[in-house]
Amino acid sequence: EIVMTQSPGTLSVSPGERATLSCRASQSVSSNLAWYQQKPGQAPRLLIYGASTRATGIPARFSGSGSGTEFTLTISSLQSEDFAVYYCQQYNNWPPYIFGQGTKLEIK
Amino acid sequence: EVQLVQSGAEVKKPGESLKISCKGSGYSFTSYWIAWVRQMPGKGLEWMGIIYPGDSDTRYSPSFQGQVTMSADKSISTAYLQWSSLKASDTAMYYCARASGYGDYWGQGTLVTVSS
C-alpha cells in the first residue's frame, strides 16, 4: 500500500506571504495526485487534480507541481480564507486511494 | 449545479444497524463513481471505497472490507453506506463524493455517533 507523507504538519505563515506545502508518495503515483482544502466544520474542497490542474472556481494563487513521488502545493499570497487544513491524495493505485495526514496552515 | 445531499446526523447504540444516504443531482448519476470517506473526530480523511451506480460495481479499501456495505439505487440517484452492527469506533463524520479518482464534488457529511 502506498504511503502519502505531508510536511510540515503545521505551517505558520503571515497573510500576504507565500506558503509551500509538500507531499511525498512512497512509490510513484505518476501525476495522479489531488489536493484538498478543509475548513473546520466543512467538507473537503477539491483544489488541484492531475498534480497541477486547478479545479473549477479555484483562484490562480493556488498552484500544484510535481510528478512521481514529490509534489508541492503553493499558495502565492495568503488570504485570510486560506487558513485551513490541506490534504493530498493519490489516485494512481487502487486499493485504496490514500490521503496524506494533512498540513494545518495557520496564521503567524 | 452538481449537488450531493446527505442524510442527517444519527445517534445509535453499539450493535445497532444503520444506513445513511447520499442523493446526487445536477449530473448523470450513473456515469460517475461515488466515494465514501470517513473522518474520525479530530483526524484526517480515509477513503472507504467506491461504487459505480450505473452497474453497482463496488470496491472497498482493505481496512473497510467486511465492515460496511455500499449500495446504490440509480432510479432515485442515491447511494448508501450501511452497517449491520455498529461499534463505538464507527463514530465519525462520513462524506460522500463524486469520484473520478479524486473527489470533485462532496456532500455536506453525515455525523454518526455510536454510544451506549
DSSP letters for B45-78: EEEEEEEETTTTEEEE-TTTTTT-EEEEEGGGTE
What pLDDT, on a 0 to 100 scale, did the predictor assign at position B18? 98
> What are the start-end ranges of the E strands in chain B?
3-6, 10-12, 18-25, 33-39, 45-52, 57-60, 69-73, 78-83, 92-100, 102-106, 110-114
What pLDDT, on a 0 to 100 scale, did the predictor assign at position B55? 95
Q: Do the chains contact at A96 and B49, CB–CB below 8 Å?
A: yes
* Residue in B101, B105, B107 closest to A32 by CB: B101
pLDDT band with cut points at 50, 70 and 90 for residue A1: confident
Mark the ranges of chain B whose per-residue pLDDT is less than 70: none
Task: Please provide the distance, in angstroms rounded to a whole number, between the alpha carbons at the two ends of chain A.
Answer: 36
